[in-house]
Amino acid sequence: MRFSKLRLTGFKSFVDPTDLLIGDGLTGVVGPNGCGKSNLLEALRWVMGENRPTAMRGGGMEDVIFAGASTRPARNFAEVSLHIDNADRLAPTGFNDSDHLEIVRRITRDVGSAYKVNGRDSRARDVTMLFADASTGAHSPALVRQGQISELINAKPKNRRRVLEDAAGIAGLYQRRHEAELKLKNTDANLTRVDDVLEQLT
């Protein structure tokens, strides 16, 4: 599977619908200061499920919505769609029944975020797991922001291991382990409650 196009509407400085065509191989974005290079990368992270406003350089998630300019009023929603070419049918199980995938995330003021995969409503978890299982996602080391290379060189071994784990495609397993641990904890609590009830009955 291969990212082929990113479309931004009302996202940060991209008030009008804007397409970024993504070719084969490495894609670099160059341009003058303040033209929106980082906003593009943030849009890509955001559609893949980024949920930390700080990672979007904002105080709240609604800060990604176009805030208005001297000549344009603010928008009420922001939308990013990511088109994925799946002709090789390598998308993770559950998403592998078509040659093309379109993931859409929209945030509306006072309403929050909603996701769609190929037009169908989806949960944030399903979208993040889709990308994690495909060895990518909002935290993928394949998305290199300014200053990241020097950060990586100076990083502690534990943080560098995380990069290798992401590249190896096991990031999704961490999420699943976390969910399994929560379920186990709940089951333990239920068992203790059953023991208490049995003790009272005997």
What does the binding site for ligand ATP look like in residue numbers (CB under 6 A)?
12-13, 31, 33-39, 63, 65-67
* Residue 4 CB, nearest approach to ligand ATP (Å): 22
> Which residue ranges are tagged as binding site?
32-39
Closest CB to ligand ATP among residues 25, 34: 34
Q: What is the DSSP letter of 30?
A: -
* Residue 127 CB, nearest approach to ligand ATP (Å): 22
Closest CB to ligand ATP among residues 53, 92: 53
For the chain, the C-alpha Rg in angstroms (whole number) is 20
Pick from 7, 73, 70: nearest CA to 40: 7
> Which residue ranges are tagged as binding site for ATP?
32-39
* Residue 21 CB, nearest approach to ligand ATP (Å): 18
- Can you tell me the distance from the alpha carbon of 2 to that of 85, in angstroms, rounded to the nearest whole number? 5
Q: Name residue, tokens 């291991």.
A: 161
Give the chain's length. 202
Q: Judge contact between 151 and 134, C-beta under 8 A.
A: no
Closest CB to ligand ATP among residues 36, 137: 36
